[in-house]
Amino acid sequence: MKTRVTEQLGIAYPIIQGGMMWVGLAELAAAVSNAGGLGIITALTQPTPDALRQEIERCRALTDKPFGVNLTILPTVTPPPYAEYVSAIIEGGVTIVETAGNSPREFIDRFKANGVRIVHKCTTVRHALSAERNGVDMVSIDGLECAGHPGEDDVGGLVLIPAAARQLKIPVIASGGIADGRGMAAALALGAEGVNMGTRFCVTQEAPIHDDIKQALVRGSERDTALIFRTLKNTARVFRNAIADEVLSMERREGGCTFEEIRPLVAGQRGRAALASGVVDGGIVSAGQCIGLIDDVPTCAELIERMVLQCRERLQVAGRWAA
C-alpha cells in the first residue's frame, strides 16, 4: 500500500502500533515492524534514559525494519528528564518519534536536525493545526472511541478524521476505534493516510500482557469500557472492571472526589501489575471501544495481513457500489 505515511516512514503498510505504557516493549514493536507496520517502543516505560537506550538496541536486534519511540510529555510537578530521553532516542539512531500529551515544540528542532520524523498525537483539530505550524511531519488524530485519554471535546472519529484531513496539509493518521480492515478502509475513505492502533495490538500473541487480560478484552463488547476522570477534566477510557466501577462511584458521589482520593486505585504500578499477573480487577486497564470488534489473539503478522486483505476487499466493494 502506498500513502505519504508509508513513503515517509519507510514501511509497507500504513499501520502504526501506538505507544502504550507498560506494553510498548521491544518484542511487540519488532513484531509489528517485521510484519510491515511501524512498531513503537514507549520511552517512559523505561525507568531511565539509559534503559531506553538498551531497549532500542534490543529492538534493533529483533528487526531490521523501521521502528519508532513514543515520548509522552505530561504536565507533572516532577517531570522526567525529557531532554535526556530525547538524547537517547537520537543517539540510538531512531528516525521516527511519536509524541503525545503536551506540545513537543521545545524538542522539534533537535529531532529535525538529526533526521527524526515526528508523528504527534492529538485529540482536536485545533491542536493538530498548532502541531503542523510547529513543524511536526504527521498528525495522529485520536477520536473519542480510543483507549487512554481522548480529550474533553467528545468528538468521534467519523467526524474528527475528515475534519482534520480537510484542514491539514501534512498526513493524517486515524486513531481510536480501529481494530480491523473495515476500520482501516473507512479511515482511508475519510481522508486519513494511515491508522494507529493500541488496543488491537494489546490483544496479540507478542503483546507483553498476561493472557487472562487478553481473554477478558476478547470477551468484552463495545459497551465494556468506561470513561473515568471526567470530573477531573482528564478523561480516560479504560476497561470496565471493579476498579473502574469504584472510581466512577467516587466521582459520582455528591461533591465528587479529588485525584488524591482515587490515586491508590489508579496508580500506574498497580495497573502494570494487573497486566503482568492477569488479575483483571487488579488495576486500571486501558482499552478502547474497539474491543467489541476483537475476537481472537493472532500474531502481529497474522493481524496485519488480515487487515490489509480486508481493507482492500472493503474498498473494492465500496467502489462497486459507487460505480
Q: Which CATH architecture does the domain made up of 4-208+296-322 adopt?
A: Alpha-Beta Barrel (3.20)
pLDDT of residue 321: 94
pLDDT band at 323 (very low <50, low <70, confident <90, very high): confident
State how far the Cα of 35 lies from the Cα of 15, in Å rounded to an integer.
10
pLDDT digits (tens, 9 = 90+) for 271-282: 999 999 999 999
Return the C-alpha cell found at 24.
510498548
Three-state DSSP state, 37: coil
Average pLDDT, the chain: 97
In DSSP terms, 174 is beta-bridged to 141, 195
pLDDT digits (tens, 9 = 90+) for 94-129: 999 999 999 999 999 999 999 999 999 999 999 999
Three-state DSSP state, 96: strand
pLDDT of residue 77: 77
Give the number of other Cβ atoms within 10 Å of residue 53's Cβ: 17
State how far the Cα of 244 lies from the Cα of 266, in Å rounded to an integer.
9
Nearest residue to 178 (alpha-carbon basis) of 140, 215, 230: 140
All structural domains of the chain with their residue ranges = 4-208+296-322, 225-286
Nearest residue to 289 (alpha-carbon basis) of 158, 95, 189: 158
Q: Would you say residue 285 has pLDDT above 90? A: yes
pLDDT band at 245 (very low <50, low <70, confident <90, very high): very high
From residue 21, alpha-carbon distances to 72, 256, 279, 283, 308 in Å are 10, 28, 18, 14, 26
